[in-house]
Amino acid sequence: MAGSLSEAAKALVDEFKRNRLTELGLEVVESMASQFQTDLDTEVDVRNELRTVSRALEKATKRVLHILQRIHLEAESDEKTTKLGETGMDLIIKDVAPILAQIGEKLPPSEYYKYADFFRFNVIKSVFAIGLSKFLLDGSFATVQFVASILQIPTAETRKSGGIFLEWEEYLEGMIDVGQELARLAKNCVILDNYGLVAKIHSYISTLTFGFSGMNFKNDGLRRRFDSLKYDSRAIEEVVYDLKMQKSAAKSNS
């Protein structure tokens, strides 16, 4: 009889444990589900906010690029190209940089790469606009530190915490865009008889390709784009050579 009671008691204890564990398990699952839903709602809110701000960034960047495209029509005068450079730089500082600050505020800490696709393309275009404007202003090269200072964001090296920053790849892609745009401009300068600007472009792209030639591009797409820039550099060298030959021939005939 005592043995039977012992077995019955043991069975009751086992059943109690199973029920208690089931209850605890449900509590854990419900807590996990609740936290997951909270995290999901937060991510949706962040994505929606970043999408809205990134559209504003795209609009501001397009405005700058549209104005800078006028160089191909106004390259006959250094005064006009300098004015375009001033306008481009002013618009970046006034319209683009404040939007990048908003993006930085909305980015969750340590989650830059998770949301970078929302704004990365237009950051590259902003680098391009700054690099081109800098050339039009004084013919000089926009360093990564200079570009970051205009955009009012840190570089990868000076970044101290979360938020937006200027990646090296973004900088390099933007500057390669500058070189390719100037290669196109050089041909239009010949048509507009601005041979002095052609010489400046030749010097600039030679410096650009020399500076980048020592880099080890791990990004295949970036390496291919740099290779195309080298072809553009050779094309400009041919233009400069033809201009020198024409000038030499004109002196011989005079």
Quick: pLDDT tens for 3-14: 445 665 555 556
Encode pLDDT of 220-237 as tens digits: 777 788 788 888 888 888
Rg (CA), the chain: 30
The answer to whether 183 and 208 are in contact (CB under 8 A) is: no
27 is in an annotated binding site: no
Taking the C-alpha atoms of residue 3 and residue 7, their distance in angstroms, rounded to an integer, is 6
At 225 the pLDDT is 80
| Residue 91 confidence (pLDDT) above 80 | yes
Highest mean pLDDT among 148-152, 155-159, 200-204: 148-152
The answer to whether 169 and 126 are in contact (CB under 8 A) is: no
* Domains recognised in the chain with CATH numbers: 50-253 (1.20.58.2140)
Whole-angstrom CA distances from 248 to 11, 200, 239, 243 are 109, 20, 14, 9
The answer to whether 91 and 63 are in contact (CB under 8 A) is: yes
